[in-house]
Structure 1
Amino acid sequence: MLSKPFENPIRVWVGMGFPRQLNTVVDAYQFATDWCGNSPEQKAAIRACKAALVGDIEAETARGIFAAFARKKDILIEDGNMPPPYWKARPSHV
């Protein structure tokens, strides 16, 4: 069971708005299993990552399913959609 790299990493928001890059199927699997919740999208992402790890599906298929989960949870960083960090976006008078 080898970790399969993604052609393009997936970037997601974690914590207080910090970006995290997921480079492999294992990265995505660990993220999805650690995510607090039990949604159908999360379950699908976990199943897809497991299937990719054993070679039943391609890594890019698992990536797409994981991206759908992250998009549904509003944590996916789309290409070119990287707002400034929280501390830079806040007005200085606050």
Structure 2
Amino acid sequence: MLAKPFEKPIHVWVGLGFPRQLNTVADAYQFVIDWCGNSPEQKAAIRACRAALAGDVDAETARGVFVAFARKKDILIEDGAIPPIPRSAQPKHV
């Protein structure tokens, strides 16, 4: 399976309100199969990601289906919704 990058990453909320960035179809696929549930939107996202990984559809088609799933589950972070991390909270490089 190839990583097939998205043109634009998807940002979702995980855990107790922590953002996560999904950069590739493989990232989205792993996220959606780990998601607890069995909704039609989840099943569609799984099918779309599998199809993209197999080369049957393009990555942006899978991205669109995954975004619909994330929006339905209210975990999608719309553009600009994540405030930037203050420099004081960013990890320091040694």
TM-score, normalization by structure 1: 0.86
2:73 equivalent to 1:73: yes
Q: 2:36 is paired with a residue of what secondary structure?
A: coil
Q: Cα deviation per residue 1:32-82 (whole Å; 9 max; x = unaligned)?
A: 000000000000000000000010000000000000000000000000122
Q: Percent same amino acid among aligned pairs?
A: 81
Match for residue 2 of structure 1?
2
Provide the C-alpha distance between the structure 2 equivalents of 1:22 and 1:82, rounded to a whole number of angstroms.
14
The unaligned stretches of length 5 or more in structure 1 are 86-94
Q: What is the number of equivalent residue pairs in this alignment? A: 85
Question: RMSD in angstroms over aligned alpha carbons?
Answer: 1.5
1-structure distance, mates of 2:68, 2:36: 17
The answer for unaligned runs of 5 or more in structure 2 is 86-94
**Paired position in structure 2 for 1:64:** 64
Rounded to whole Å, the distance in 2 between the matches of 1:64 and 1:18 is: 22
Counterpart mapping for 1:1-94 below 5 A:
1-82=1-82
Q: Deviations over 1:12-50 (max 9, x none)?
A: 000000000000000000000000000000000000000
Q: Would you identify which runs of 4 or more consecutive aligned residues in structure 1 move more than 2 Å? A: 82-85
| Distance in 2 (alpha carbons) for counterparts of 1:79 and 1:30 | 22
2-structure distance, mates of 1:17, 1:84: 15
Structure 1 counterpart of 2:72, which letter?
K
